[in-house]
């Protein structure tokens, strides 16, 4: 995929996420309860994501563990899982502790991948586009839901 288009899409995702944060972060909004990051709890939850990733990777021939195209879907779900668990206990994502955990997972699975053997090239476009568009649609959906809910409460009040 064209690197320029890819950066534009990333920017779009970023902007949508920020506007999503601002919409939901308003005082009196749906998420007015502000969680404080509980790092202990986060470090307890993250290994669940690691186990899920390990289960998926074990189904794959170990020879394919260095081929990004083969495991990018698993890796994406692992990454989303860590983000979800971190946010769920009120932590920003990424954060240094979560990154430490992710690095330990990298060591576990990719320690034998030399830089020539690991294929960190662009995965096929269709996969990339799917991975990029899912969060865009989710965020857009959440924004419309919040807007819809606030309009609804205006009507009701």
Binding test (CB under 6 A) with ligand NAG, winner from 7, 19, 32, 69: 69
Question: Which residues neighbour 11 within 8 Å (Cβ) at sequence distance 6 or greater?
Answer: none
Provide the angle, in degrees to the nearest 10, between the axes of the packed helices 39-58 and 68-88: 160
String of contacts with ligand NAG for each residue 96-125, x by CB under 6 A: -------------x-xx------x------
**Min separation Cβ 131 and ligand NAG, Å:** 16
Distance CA 131, CA 72 (A): 9
From residue 39 to residue 68, the character string flagging contacts with ligand NAG as x (rule: CB under 6 A) and all else as - is -xx--------------------x----x-
Give Dmax (Cα) for the chain: 63
Distance set, CA 54 to CA 49, 65, 137 (Å): 9, 11, 28
Considering beta carbons, is residue 24 or 38 the nearer one to ligand NAG? 38
* Identity of the residue, 68 or 136, whose beta carbon is nearer to ligand NAG in the bound complex: 68
CA distance 127 to 72: 9
List of residues contacting ligand NAG (CB under 6 A): 38, 40-41, 62, 67, 69-70, 109, 111-112, 119
């Amino acid at each position: 995929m064209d690197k320029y288009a890819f950066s534009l899409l990333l920017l779009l995702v970023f902007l949508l996420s920020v506007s999503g944060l601002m919409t939901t972060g308003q005082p009196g909004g749906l998420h007015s309860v502000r969680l404080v990051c509980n790092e202990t709890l986060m470090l307890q939850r993250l290994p669940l994501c690691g186990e899920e990733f390990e289960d998926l990777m074990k189904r794959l021939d170990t020879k394919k563990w260095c081929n990004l195209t083969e495991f990018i879907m698993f890796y994406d779900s692992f990454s989303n899982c860590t983000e979800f668990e971190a946010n769920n206990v009120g932590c920003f994502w990424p954060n240094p502790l979560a990154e430490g955990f992710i690095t330990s997972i990298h060591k576990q699975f990719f320690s034998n991948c030399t830089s020539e053997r690991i294929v960190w090239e662009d995965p096929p476009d269709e996969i990339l586009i799917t991975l990029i568009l899912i969060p865009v649609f989710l965020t857009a959906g959440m924004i419309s839901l919040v807007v819809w809910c606030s309009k609804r409460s205006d009507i009701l009040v």
